[in-house]
Amino acid sequence: MLRSKILNRIRLLKPVIDRRCMSSASKTPLTLLEVDDKSGIATLSLNRPPVNSLNIDLMNSIIESITEIEGNKSRGLILTSANDRVFCAGLDLNELHKPNQERLKEFWAVFQDVWLALHLCSVPTAAAINGHAPAGGCLLATACEYRVMLPQMTIGLNETQFGYMAPKWVMLSYLSVLPRRLAERALTQGKLFTTAEALDVGLVDEIAASKEEALAKCSTFIDSFSKANPLARSLTKKQIREPDVQKLIADRAGDLKECLEYINSPLLQDGLGAYFEALKQKSRSKAGKS
């Protein structure tokens, strides 16, 4: 009786609609999921070249993997990247720049869902940040309970750098990790922390010299819960995170409306266009194209 009551409570707290997403047309899977048969820990690798930018398919694939991990009784989830330079480049700017309105609505709903799924994941979560993690990439990392980062990378909510303001719930994810005054300064500056700076302010918990070491440190974190009852642990985590989550769940439509108005404003579209063009130009000059 008590167990079913507890399970119902978890279901109530878990607002993400379980979805079986259609695999994308591309041949390679957008996420790679491996469960270590000794430790029972699942490693979820983002695998969307060139920079794991978050489009609808990748975010659906992440949600599907989290649902699978929660269902197969994995002892924990380590989020990392199959790319050794970039953890996640944040939202795919193609989804935000001159967007199709119907697709933008779906995109934003899935963006909300992927944060809810990771932020409320019932198993212990850790991010092995083996590459740059700006904006939405930083959000995925802060949705996890623990962060281990490799040197010479950057992480942060840099939205003001490309003319945007992060939504309230994205800011709350930052505030769950950083002290308010620091979070405010970093958000308004659009600051990208270096690995050393991120460790110094507590945005990441440890630094690792290699991806293997980062994965091992994440596993050690997950093992720290070995004496805790999994159900009690999951409920405790959700109870603590519920106030932030409810701020989004209580007004998802309002958040979508605000996002559509904001993203579609000509001023912001111009700023985003210039930012995206500069990125492409940088990439072309790197590749030796004029």
Ligand X SMILES: CC/C=C\C/C=C\CCCC/C=C/C(=O)SCCNC(=O)CCNC(=O)[C@H](O)C(C)(C)COP(=O)(O)OP(=O)(O)OC[C@H]1O[C@@H](n2cnc3c(N)ncnc32)[C@H](O)[C@@H]1OP(=O)(O)O
The residue ranges that bind ligand X (CB under 6 A) are 50-51, 53, 85-86, 89-94, 132, 134-136, 158-159, 162, 164-167, 170, 258-259, 262-263, 279-280, 282-283, 286
Whether 137 is catalytic is no
Tell the smallest beta-carbon distance from residue 264 to ligand X (Å): 10
Whether 54 is catalytic is no
Tell the smallest beta-carbon distance from residue 146 to ligand X (Å): 22
Tell the smallest beta-carbon distance from residue 266 to ligand X (Å): 14
Whether 158 is catalytic is yes
The smaller minimum CB distance to ligand X, of residues 123 and 183, is found at 183
- Bridge partners of 132, per DSSP, are 86
Question: Which residues are CB-contacts of 89 (< 8 A; sequence separation ≥ 6)?
Answer: 51, 52, 53, 132, 134, 135, 136, 137
Do 260 and 104 contact (CB within 8 A), yes or no? Answer: yes
Whether 91 is catalytic is yes
The smaller minimum CB distance to ligand X, of residues 31 and 52, is found at 52
CA nearest 137: which of 122, 160, 158, 123? 158
Q: How far apart are CA 109 and CA 111, in angstroms?
A: 5
The smaller minimum CB distance to ligand X, of residues 48 and 238, is found at 48
The smaller minimum CB distance to ligand X, of residues 164 and 221, is found at 164
Two structure tokens written together for 202: 């507590």
Which residue in the list 54, 139, 158, 203 is annotated as catalytic? Answer: 158
Residue nearest to ligand X according to CB distances in the complex: 90
Do 217 and 148 contact (CB within 8 A), yes or no? Answer: yes
Tell the smallest beta-carbon distance from residue 271 to ligand X (Å): 11
Question: Which residues are CB-contacts of 119 (< 8 A; sequence separation ≥ 6)?
Answer: 143, 173, 241, 244, 245
What Cα–Cα distance (Å) separates residue 46 from each residue in 26, 59, 64, 209?
A: 14, 10, 13, 20
Which residue in the list 79, 91, 96, 272 is annotated as catalytic? Answer: 91
Residues with catalytic roles = 91, 136, 158-159
